[in-house]
Amino acid sequence: MRCLFVLCLLLAATLAGQEPNAQLAASPWAVTHERFLWPDAGGSLSLTPEGFLFTRAEKKPEEAKPVLLRWDEIQQATLAERRLEIVTYHDVVWQLGRDRIFRFRLSTPDGSLVTAAPILRAHLGERAVVALHADPLVVERKAVQWRIPAKRLGLVRGVEGVLIFTGDELLFDASRAGDSRIWPVKVIDAIAQTGPLSLNITAPERAVSDQGGYRSFAFQLKQPLSAENYQALWRRIEHAHGTRLRFRSIQ
């Protein structure tokens, strides 16, 4: 019996070790590398234990020069269903020191980059921006505490969607591709309200204006967010951080 128990433990450990490899096996993806001053380039994008590997498609395969974007070289990675933007720490001297950015979009009409999200979160932590639509099946399995239709304000135009709080995550499921966000409560830096029909979220993300690596998201709520629900969100964030957040009741 003891031998059987040990065998089960070894099998479980083996399967656990294979889980990341199964996620890596979801790649490579056929992508287009979008470039500003030069023609776009087709190729393949792969997930590796070291980072993202982009291999440009060449007429002669032996001329291909893969580019490895290592995890520790990535300043921020923004993942949408069909797009990936990687901002590195490397400066582009002739562009006055602008951070070098790689932008990829899927070339196949039915592909998806969703499977890359757990890998990004595991390796990049707060540097991973998950701009994916909320998976209805995943949300359904969680204990949704509240759900409110909302509009996220923007510099030129906003985007409508739904704010969903599951207890572990705050999600904004946007009507426009690339504008959704999934924030684990532990990465949210601050929240604020000026009334029951407003909500401001501050989270790690590059912004147009320098905010120390954080970006503010202002929402107009189409239904009031009660003081009880606001405090539930605040307390969950406070618990995840283990610190006291500045809090002001809306009542």
CATH 2.30.29.30, the chain: domain bounds: 11-130, 136-241
Mode of pairing for the β-strands spanning 51-56 and 67-70:
antiparallel
User: What pLDDT score was predicted for residue 13?
Assistant: 40
In the prediction, which pLDDT does 62 show?
60
What is the model's pLDDT at position 37? 80
Tell me what pLDDT residue 104 has. Answer: 97
**Matching CATH number, 11-130, of 2.30.29.30, 3.30.450.150, 3.30.70.330, 3.40.50.1460:** 2.30.29.30
pLDDT below 50 — which residues of the chain?
A: 1-22, 25, 246-251
DSSP secondary structure, the chain, as one string: -HHHHHHHHHHHHHHHHHHHHHHHTT--EEEEEE-SSS--EEEEEEEETTEEEEEE--SSGGG---EEEEGGGEEEEEE-SSEEEEEEEEEEGGGTTEEEEEEEEESSTT---GGGHHHHHHHHGGGEEE-PPP-HHHHHHS---EEEEEEE--SS--EEEEEEE-SSEEEEEESSTT--EEEEGGG--EEE-SSTTEEEEEEE---SS-STTEEEEEEEESS---HHHHHHHHHHHHHHHTSPPP-----
Q: What is the pLDDT of residue 250?
A: 45
Q: According to CATH, what is the number of the domain 136-241?
A: 2.30.29.30
- Strand-pairing partners, residue 200, are 192, 218
pLDDT at 15: 40
